[in-house]
Amino acid sequence: MSERATDGEDEFGWLEEVTGDEALAWVRERNAGTVADLAAGSRYDGLRAGIREVLDADDRIPYITRRGDFRYNFWRDAAHPRGLWRRTTLASYRTAEPEWDVLLDLDALADAEGENWVWDSAQVLRPAYERALVQLSRGGADATVVREFDLVRREFVADGFTLPEAKTFVDWIDADRVYVGTDTGPGSLTNAGLPRTVREWRRGTPVAEAPLVFEGKPDDTYVTGHHDDTEGYERDFVRRGIDFYRDELYLRDGDTLTRIDLPDDAIVTVQREWLLVELRTPWRGFPAGALLATGFDAYVAGEDPAFVPLFEPDPHTALAGYSWTRHHLILTEMHDVSSRLTVLTPRESGPWHAEPLAGVPELGTASAHGTDADVDDEYLLEVTGFLTPTTLSVGTIGAGAEPVKHAPAYFDATGLVVRQHFAVSADGTRVPYFVVGPDTDGPLPTVLYGYGGFEVPWQPTYSGTIGRAWLSRGHRYVLANIRGGGEYGPTWHSGAVRENRRLVYEDFAAVATDLVSRGLTTAPRLGIHGGSNGGLLVSVMLTRHPELFGAAVSQVPLTDMRRYHRLLAGALWVAEYGDPDEPDDWAFMREFSPYHQVRPDAAYPPVLYTTSTRDDRVHPAHARKMVARLLAQGHDVTYYENIEGGHGGAADNAQAAFVSALVYEFFARHLT
C-alpha cells in the first residue's frame, strides 16, 4: 500500500461499499474502540444523561402545523422513541396540558411490522382533511416509503396510494389523483438520484403506467409537480431543477406547459393573485437579494406589469424569509445576523404598506409565519436566543400575539453573556461571529462552530444540549457567520463558491485568530465543530490550519471532493463546489479536498469523525476514507458510525444523545 494515493488511485475505495462485509467489519472495529475509550466514565455518563433529558423533556415546546380545525404535531419522548403523530385544537393547545388525539404510533407500527420506521412527513388532503400521504424512512434515510392514511379510521388505506422506498415527491391533486415523481425504472431518476419525471397518478392504477406530465434531463437535479388548491386560484405547476440554484417554473394547463419567463436563479413563488420573485443576481435594475412582486395573471399573459420592490438589501441587512397570511405578507430580515420582522399589506399599485412586527430581541432570532394563508391572518411567532429559551406565540395581524408555549431553561445562564464581534478576513472583509460564555476575561476552553455553504444563514438559537454539555461547565461557544452562508444575502454566498471557496476557510481562520487575539481562548484550548458542509469545513481546516486549534469534530462530512459527485446525492452540489471531472475545476477543488491534502509529516490536533451508515445524502465513505488515511499515516483520529440515523446522524433521541455526548466528551478531554 502506498503511503499516499495519487489522484488516480484510492487505496481506501473499498470503504465506499456501504454495507460491504469488509467495510462494516472496519466500522465495527473503530466503533468498539471509540465506545471503550470515550463512552466510559462518570463524565460521559453525565453528559449523555443530561442531553437525553433535554431531548426527551415533557415540557419542551410541541411545535404545530395547522390543518383545518386542528393543530398537528409529531412528538418523541422516552416512552415513545420513534414518535407519535397527533393533533389537538387551538383552544386545547393554549392550555398547559393539551389533550392530544394520537393518529399514528410509530413505535407500535414498527413493532408490528418489524421495521425501524422514522417519521418524515405527512401531506393532508384539503379541504376535508380526511386522508394523508405519510412518508416514512427506514433508519432515518432520505429515501422514504409512501402510504395513504385514513385520518377518520386511524389506519393505512389497504388499496390506497402506496410507494416502495425511494427518493420520492408526491402532491395531492384531488382525492383520486396525485402528482408523483419516484423510481419507476431506468430513466426515471436524475444523476443525483432524485425524480426526473412527473406523472399524474390515478388511484387504482400502476404508477409506472401513469401519464407522463414532464421529463427532465439526466443531469438535472430534480423535477416536481404541484397542485395549488386555493379556492378561485386553482393552478398546476411543474418545476425543473437545472442545478442546485437554478430552476424553471412551468404553468400546466391540460397538456400545455407554459414556462414562466423569469431568471432561472431566482426563487419564484405564487400566492393567489401575486407573483413573488426573490433575486439571487441583479435583474431589471434591482439588486441581488431583492424581493419583488407583481400580478401573476398579467405577467403570464405577457403584459409585463411593473414589479414592486418589497425588500431591497443594504450592506448590513438581508432577507431571511417570508410567509403569507390571508391578507398580509410577513418578512423576516436579518440585520447583522439578528432578526427584524415586518408586515406588508398589498396594494394594487405602488409600494405595499409596511409596519414592524413587535417582539424581537436584540442579538436574537425571531421568525413568524402564517398558519393558513387561505383562511385568515393568524400567525405563529417564535423568538429565541443563545441564552433565551424559545417562546412560541399565536397572534393575528393587527391584534398582536399571545405567548402560548415557553421552552424550559435547561441550564443556568447566570453570569453568561452574548457578544458579537467582527473578524477581518484575509481580503479585508469583516466577518461577524457570536461569543457565548462567562462574563469574564481570560482564555477559556472554546468550541467554534461553522457551516459556510449553500446560502444557509446561522442565527442565535437556544440549545439545551450546548448549554448543559458545554456552557454550564464554564466554557465558551462561538458561532461564526462566514461567507458561503446567507447571513448577508445571496452575494455573501455566491462570492465564495467554486474557485472562490478559499474565502470560506480564510473567514473561519480569521475568526479563530481573532478569538485568540482578544484573549478569549488559546489555540490549544480552541475546538472546531461542523456537520455536512460544515464537516467539510472542519476537515479543510484540519489539513490547512492545524496550528489554529487543539481539537476538531467533523460530522457526516464531505472529504473526498474528487469523487463526491459520484457518491449518492453528490451530483446535486456541483454548482456549489465545482465539477472535478473538469480539469480546470479540479485544479482549484483539490485545494479544498481534505482527503487529498492529508500529509504524514503534518502535526494535526486530535480529531473525531462521526457519520451514519444510513446517510443516503452524504456518503459515509467520506468520513470512513478520511479516517482510514489519517490512521494509516499515524495521526490521532477517533471514529464512530451510527448504523441508523440518515444525514441527521441519529434515528431517535437515545442515539442523538449518545453521539452528542461523544462529541462533548471529546472536546472536554482535549480542551480542558
Q: Which residues are catalytic?
A: 532, 647
Give me the sheet containing 329-335, strands edge to edge: 317-324, 329-335, 338-345, 353-356
Give the separation between CA 661 and CA 225, rounded to whole angstroms: 42
Say if residues 107 and 93 touch (Cβ distance below 8 Å): no
CA distances (Å), origin 483, targets 14, 334, 488, 489, 496: 35, 15, 9, 10, 6
Give the separation between CA 549 and CA 473, rounded to whole angstroms: 20
Per DSSP, 665 falls in state: H
Say if residues 101 and 430 touch (Cβ distance below 8 Å): no
Which of 326, 330, 316, 266 lies closest to 292 in space, CA to CA? 266
DSSP 197-238: EEEEEETTS-GGGSPEEEE--TTSSEEEEEEE--TT--EEEE
Give the separation between CA 84 and CA 312, rounded to whole angstroms: 42
Say if residues 300 and 249 touch (Cβ distance below 8 Å): no
Give the separation between CA 20 and CA 470, rounded to whole angstroms: 37
Burial (0-12, 13-18, 19+ Cβ within 10 Å), 158: exposed
Cell of 396: 393575528
Cα 44 vs. chain centroid, distance in angstroms?
Answer: 28
In what helix (H) or strand (E) does residue 401 lie, and over which residues does it extend? strand 400-406
Over the range 293-328, which residues count as b (16 or more CB within 10 Å of their CB) and which as e? bbbbeebbeeeeeebbebbebeeebbbbbbbbbeeb
Phi and psi for 644 in degrees, rounded to 5? Answer: -110, -175
Number of neighbours of residue 1 by Cβ within 10 angstroms? 7
